Amino acid sequence: QVSLVESGGGSVQAGGSLRLSCTLSGSDFAPDYMAWYRGPAGKQREFVASLTSGGTLCYADSVKGRFTITTDFSNNTSYLQMSSLKPEDTAVYYCHSNVRGRTYWGQGTQVTVSS
């Protein structure tokens, strides 16, 4: 069974940094892309960043210059390095991936930034 598992969330003060990790397991194929979304639990999620297996990067304007996505496609693990965090970055962060036309979501990890 294919699954995405995130880790690395937590609480930090404004201006601090956190690194999230996400591993795709149970798949016989490499993902087409790995991406991160965020949002309040159970509500609409907004796009944060993505990286395709071909190397195409994309970031939301709100995180450009502060967040960096990297992916080790040899072990299907994505990282989201978050720096200069702001209180408005507080959200549940979800990992998202597509493998041969099927999409998967992680369970989410909470990030809380205090002022």
pLDDT in tens, 88-99: 999 999 999 999
Confidence of residue 107 (pLDDT cuts 50, 70, 90): very high
What's residue 88's pLDDT?
Answer: 95
φ, ψ for residue 89, nearest 5 deg: -80, -5
What's residue 73's pLDDT?
Answer: 85
pLDDT in tens, 12-66: 999 999 999 999 999 988 899 999 999 987 789 999 999 999 999 999 999 999 9
pLDDT in tens, 77-86: 999 999 999 9
Q: Scanning the structure block, which residue is given the tokens 């369970």? A: 107
How far from 45 is each of 20, 38, 66, CA to CA, in Å? 17, 5, 19
- Is the pLDDT reported for residue 106 higher than 90? yes
User: What are 95's two structure tokens?
Assistant: 């990992």
Confidence of residue 114 (pLDDT cuts 50, 70, 90): very high
